[in-house]
Structure 1
């Protein structure tokens, strides 16, 4: 029987989510990869245990996470029922709706039909009465923003979600839906953008809007699919995700395009007595609007490696300037796809 580490809250940092009363762990665990039906279930349990034992309280899911879609929620639900049920009130669990989940015109995007059905399905797979945060996973160009907002608000009214979030919304889209949420009194508190050293668009577009609205961000793709680690400093390992992946976000070509920049960043990290991954996570957290950064893990040991980033969160002006210069030299990459 799993029993959580009694010292789990001693080293983790907890940040307030905008102007709300909610706090989240500075590092949160994303279940996009490694928690599907094709992955080892015992390893999944060990990763969840390691995260919670390290003080990570925020666990981020979506209805389509797998493969197969839905299986990450099913596996997490099994772990909750068997190991984590006693700790439910210490956890922030989120899910999302918006990407394709079932065939036909109602299986994706942001209609009321999709959002309500998706939320009900997610709660069933998770074995939960409610999630702490429910997100619309992407803006829907064909559905009025009022419809999406009202559907999300209904989840709160019905007790199926405590807070509402949005994901992959730019600044203008965020302002538009926030106006509806404000009229409805919806507890919209957080936005989830892709954010890392290789993707900084949110700094000029989204973060100023969140600051004005009193909302927060939790960044995903925090290590750019592993590019911002030491894994690819000397080429592409045969067993790496870049070698095996068919994802547009990671390939041997992308490793080659970024390796010179990554090596320079690694030199800065070494001077800070950090691994490159630790520095990259700390750098994400330097932004005042970023309450938490999502990490992924394929092994329990990686949790401790990432949590070590909290040992050195401060950057000097000189370090930030050097990092900006290094990233500025990387001009041949389409950062929006990293």
Structure 2
């Protein structure tokens, strides 16, 4: 059956400008980190991507290493683009990244010019595209001059292989340094992609103010803290959860103290008449400096349930105080090491 996009897909959809740029992103973006690799049904992947587009989600977030195996998510998304969404390419923002290991040897990861540009070429081939809309340095490389990494991003733009560029999981200090280097090159860093949730609030200390000052957008990922804030772990570990299947979820995340915090947050959500996941997403978006949050989804049903967060009422001062009392920095930041240099 030929896919026909919902003609009302932009009715009521909420967008924000990425910093001081002209690019608008949906308040909720679809991330393809999980559920889009081998072992997952292509039919389900396609249905989820199309449901997102029909809901007005125009921003799809990928990386070279998303899978498994690495690269598989780009292949899956590229197939959907080619077979279903080719007529809508100009309505879609495709983002990808490079920084983590993709192939053996000294040129297969981090931030060298050789790796960054070779990886971009491979991503474009997997996606079946001439350019991506946003290309990120996925993590700071302590052993490569930052001028080299940012210079590779500049080449990505000047060669027409990317329209915009950004950085991910950089500290506030490194973000400022990267921005200044890019500025001297005549390049503008569009956006920073940090992890952020009610259980991981590091960006509130300095990064958000830095991004606001520099005019960079903030696209927050992992707003549900690896699934902890979905409520699925309130009564144990489901057989189909990330905790049971390995991967990035760590055993210490199910510490009784963390689960006690999650239960308290769930009670606040129930009092608001919403789900924990919806409240967690809305909470991240409460700050005007957060341009968009990146959500994963295993099905159209899950995606649409979480999109209801956009209709959440504003938080009262009392509710925010209750959340502050219930939430704490729960050691769920899997990307901490990348900001230590």
Q: How does 1:323-334 map to 2 (within 5 A)?
A: 323-328=323-328, 333-334=330-331
Q: TM-score, normalised by structure 2?
A: 0.95
Q: TM-score, normalised by structure 1?
A: 0.96
Residues 242 and 252 of structure 1 are in contact (CA less than 8 Å); yes or no, is this contact kept in structure 2? no
* Cα shift at 1:251: 3.2
Aligned match of 1:112: 113
Residues 286 and 313 of structure 1 are in contact (CA less than 8 Å); yes or no, is this contact kept in structure 2? no
Mapped to 2, the partners of 1:198 and 1:266 lie a distance apart of: 13
Mapped to 1, the partners of 2:231 and 2:275 lie a distance apart of: 8
Mapped to 1, the partners of 2:204 and 2:170 lie a distance apart of: 13
Aligned match of 1:98: 99
Gaps of at least 5 residues in structure 2 are: 336-341
Mapped to 1, the partners of 2:297 and 2:258 lie a distance apart of: 22
Structure 1 residues 335 and 71, CA, compared in 2 at 3 Å: closer, same or farther? closer
Residues 58 and 92 of structure 2 are in contact (CA less than 8 Å); yes or no, is this contact kept in structure 1? yes
Aligned match of 1:134: 135
Aligned match of 1:319: 319
Aligned match of 2:308: 308
Mapped to 1, the partners of 2:140 and 2:167 lie a distance apart of: 8
* Cα shift at 1:229: 1.2
Residues 171 and 209 of structure 1 are in contact (CA less than 8 Å); yes or no, is this contact kept in structure 2? yes
Three-state SS of the structure 1 residue aligned to 2:291 is strand
* Cα shift at 1:252: 7.2
* Cα shift at 1:187: 2.9
Q: How does 1:51-90 map to 2 (within 5 A)?
A: 51-90=52-91
Structure 1 residues 299 and 243, CA, compared in 2 at 3 Å: closer, same or farther? same
Gaps of at least 5 residues in structure 1 are: none
Three-state SS of the structure 1 residue aligned to 2:85 is helix
- 1:12 lines up with 2:9 in the alignment: no
Mapped to 2, the partners of 1:108 and 1:147 lie a distance apart of: 14
Residues 197 and 224 of structure 2 are in contact (CA less than 8 Å); yes or no, is this contact kept in structure 1? yes
Segment of structure 1 superposing worse, 102-111 or 238-247? 238-247
Structure 1 residues 262 and 254, CA, compared in 2 at 3 Å: closer, same or farther? same
Residues 60 and 95 of structure 1 are in contact (CA less than 8 Å); yes or no, is this contact kept in structure 2? yes
Q: How does 1:1-338 map to 2 (within 5 A)?
A: 1-247=2-248, 249-251=249-251, 254=254, 256-328=256-328, 333-337=330-334
Mapped to 2, the partners of 1:183 and 1:288 lie a distance apart of: 28
Residues 241 and 250 of structure 1 are in contact (CA less than 8 Å); yes or no, is this contact kept in structure 2? no
How many pairs does the alignment contain?
Answer: 334
Residues 100 and 138 of structure 2 are in contact (CA less than 8 Å); yes or no, is this contact kept in structure 1? yes
Mapped to 1, the partners of 2:313 and 2:219 lie a distance apart of: 17
* Cα shift at 1:253: 5.4
Cα distance per residue 1:71-104 (max 9 Å; x no partner): 1111111110000101111111000011000111
Residues 225 and 332 of structure 2 are in contact (CA less than 8 Å); yes or no, is this contact kept in structure 1? no
* Cα shift at 1:262: 1.1
Mapped to 2, the partners of 1:281 and 1:336 lie a distance apart of: 17
Mapped to 1, the partners of 2:53 and 2:32 lie a distance apart of: 14
Mapped to 2, the partners of 1:267 and 1:105 lie a distance apart of: 49
